[in-house]
């Protein structure tokens, strides 16, 4: 009796150790990247904004463009090498019929237009966020980032880093298809 | 000889000139923020130390030179200048970047263990200690009547011996 209790008390630190080890090892084994943060805006509507079209400074858009159908909002810039790597994949997704809105983030308008002409333009609408105003409100902390927005204009997910075959098929396609 | 002397006097002058020029250049690299009062300046400095840069993960926005940290510093300055309180600015940042931007995390179900963990640890340790002490005391009291008598006798004997 006494021995049994003794064994049990001695087991307590061991159990705590196991719980701690599992807690620490799970993200390691899953390969989750601590530099990829969850967006604070998941479940919320896209913040209000007024931004110019990248091709035409007289044309302005506001948050109403995110309603009506599910879509991706891709944040990119010409100073971002990963965006260059990602661009081909965006073209591919656009060809498959995905509705993608582009947001050019803290960039030069001329360079951005040249980029879109040279590499093809996968975006249905291209916003020009020179000051990073919408970027700040969206909590953008680097480029590229891609927001998944449902037909009600609600942000459902934010992907940090480039879109490619692997991440799209492993994870993002399911999220996209789950959206209404 | 005269020329050498001239050079000798010139060198410190040149050095001084260099120092002044370079110190000027390094000062220009630090953002200059002007405040209406000391309170606002204090709030701003507290905030930039408290807010964590999401891009450069283990630095606050005061320390980091990343583009994003600069943006956040400017935004913080703007909000403080508008007269917003410390909490309001922190809320503004948390609404956009999540609790990650705070260096002092709020108490939430996910973070409660940061406070409860050490407490539980201490309580558990105390419990073990108390049990151990009780056991020890119980052990010392383990004499039966006969042994108790014998002990008393021995003590008396000892007392007598030391007196004489």
The CATH number assigned to the domain holding B60 equals 1.10.8.640
Say if the Cβ atoms of B97 and A40 lie within 8 Å: yes
Asked if residue B73 and residue B20 are part of one domain, the reply reads: no
CA distance A70 to A162: 20
What share of chain A in percent tops pLDDT 90?
81
Asked if residue B43 and residue B90 are part of one domain, the reply reads: yes
Asked if residue B80 and residue B51 are part of one domain, the reply reads: yes
Count of domains forming chain B:
3
Q: Supply the pLDDT for residue B28.
A: 39
pLDDT of B109 over the 90 cut: no
> How close is the nearest chain A Cα to the Cα of B31, in Å?
18
A46-94, pLDDT tens digit by residue? 999 999 999 999 999 999 999 999 999 999 999 999 999 999 999 999 9
Asked if residue A157 and residue A80 are part of one domain, the reply reads: yes
Asked if residue A54 and residue A21 are part of one domain, the reply reads: no
Give me A62's structure tokens: 């506001």
Task: Number of A to B CB contacts under 8 A, please give it.
Answer: 34
Q: Which residues contact B63 (CB under 8 A, 6 or more apart)?
A: B53, B69
Asked if residue A86 and residue A163 are part of one domain, the reply reads: yes
Q: Supply the pLDDT for residue B26.
A: 42
Which residues of chain A lie closer than 8 angstroms to B57, CB-CB? Answer: 34-35
Q: In chain B, count of helices (H) and strands (E)?
A: 6, 0
Say if the Cβ atoms of B71 and A136 lie within 8 Å: yes
A109-113, A140-144, B147-151: which is most confident: A109-113
- Answer for the pair B69, B27: CB distance below 8 angstroms, yes or no: no
Asked if residue B128 and residue B102 are part of one domain, the reply reads: no
Q: Which residues contact A53 (CB under 8 A, 6 or more apart)?
A: A59, A60, A61, A125, A126, A127, A128
Distances (CA, A) of B150 to A147, B143, B159, B161: 86, 10, 14, 16
Domain of residue A1: give its range: 1-31
Flag whether the ipTM exceeds 0.85: no
Would residue A55 count as lying in a domain? yes
Domain of residue B74: give its range: 34-106
B110-145, pLDDT tens digit by residue? 888 889 989 999 999 999 899 999 988 887 766 778
What is the pTM for the complete model shown?
0.75
Give me B56's structure tokens: 């450069």
Count of domains forming chain A:
2
Asked if residue A21 and residue A79 are part of one domain, the reply reads: no
Nearest CA in chain B to A12: B124
Best of A34, A141, A143 to mutate (most B CBs within 10 Å, chain B): A141
Asked if residue B46 and residue B25 are part of one domain, the reply reads: no
- Between A34 and B79, where is the model more confident? B79
């Amino acid at each position: 009796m006494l021995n049994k209790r003794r064994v049990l008390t001695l087991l307590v630190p061991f159990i705590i150790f196991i719980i701690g080890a599992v807690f620490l090892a799970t993200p390691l084994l899953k390969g989750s990247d601590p530099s990829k943060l969850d967006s604070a805006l998941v479940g919320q509507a896209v913040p209000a904004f007024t931004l110019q079209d990248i091709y035409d400074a007289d044309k302005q858009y506001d948050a109403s463009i995110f309603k009506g159908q599910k879509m991706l909002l891709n944040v990119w810039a010409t100073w971002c090498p990963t965006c260059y790597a990602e661009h081909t994949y965006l073209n591919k997704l656009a060809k498959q019929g995905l509705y993608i809105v582009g947001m050019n983030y803290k960039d030069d308008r001329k360079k951005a237009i040249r980029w879109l002409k040279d590499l093809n333009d996968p975006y249905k609408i291209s916003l020009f966020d020179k000051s990073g105003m919408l970027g700040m409100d969206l909590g953008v902390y680097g480029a590229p980032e891609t927001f998944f927005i449902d037909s009600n204009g609600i942000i459902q997910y934010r992907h940090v880093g480039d879109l490619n075959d692997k991440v799209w098929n492993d994870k993002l396609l399911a999220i996209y298809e789950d959206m209404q | 000889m005269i020329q050498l002397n001239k050079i000798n006097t010139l060198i410190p002058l040149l050095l001084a000139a260099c120092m002044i020029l370079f110190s000027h250049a390094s000062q220009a690299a630090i953002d200059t923020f002007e405040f209406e009062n000391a309170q606002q300046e204090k709030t701003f400095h507290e905030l930039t130390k408290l807010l964590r840069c999401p891009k450069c993960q283990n630095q606050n926005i005061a320390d980091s030179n990343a583009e994003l940290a600069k943006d956040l510093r400017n935004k913080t300055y703007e909000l403080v200048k508008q007269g917003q309180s410390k909490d309001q600015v922190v809320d503004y940042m948390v609404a956009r970047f999540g609790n990650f931007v705070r260096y002092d995390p709020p108490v939430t179900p996910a973070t409660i263990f940061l406070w409860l963990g050490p407490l539980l640890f201490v309580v558990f340790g105390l419990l073990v200690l108390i049990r151990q002490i009780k056991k020890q005391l119980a052990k010392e009291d383990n004499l039966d009547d006969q042994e108790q008598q014998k002990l008393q006798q021995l003590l008396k004997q000892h007392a007598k011996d030391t007196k004489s």
